[in-house]
Amino acid sequence: MTAIPIDEAGRFSGYASVFDVPDDGNDVVMPGAFAKSLGKRDTKRIRMLFQHDPKEPIGRWETIREDGFGLWVEGRLVPGVPRADALRALIERRAIDGLSIGFRTVKATRRNGRRLLHEIDLWEISIVTFPMMDGARIADTDPKTAAAFAAAVSVFRT
């Protein structure tokens, strides 16, 4: 059986952000950037949106944590919400897989034309069509496939 990116209950996971990789805006999220924000704002207060639109809540984040690679997330779409139902079908068919963070910069420095984000106040994580960070993607539900996904995405590191 082939691993799928979303299960029957609408659960999916992936990396919402990857450390030490420049995004399309030349921002680089540094390891530990989310620690304070995650300490003060639990998953219930970090919204799951579609395309960063506050009028488009689509589900809930169940797990948000930093690991050695980036910001790992696990969430579930809410059945019966038309946009969430459509996204479930699109994710299942691999027609959309982007993730993106909505945040306020707390502490940053500049180096070589890039903004290094040392501390981020995380507000929301969206499913998006075109993520600013190419490695911010929904992974397959199979843990072995998800581990292979993380290894493959590591090629984006600087």
Q: Residues 17, 100, 119, 154: which is the catalytic one?
A: 100
State both tokens at 118.
């040392």
What does R_g of the chain's alpha carbons equal in angstroms?
Answer: 15
Phi, psi of 127 (to 5 degrees): -85, 130
State both tokens at 140.
């397959």
Respond yes or no: is residue 100 known to be catalytic.
yes
Q: Residues 92, 124, 126, 154: which is the catalytic one?
A: 124
Respond yes or no: is residue 118 known to be catalytic.
no
Q: Residues 8, 52, 74, 118: which is the catalytic one?
A: 52
Give the whole-angstrom CA distance, residue 144 versus residue 86: 27
Which residues are catalytically annotated?
52, 100, 124
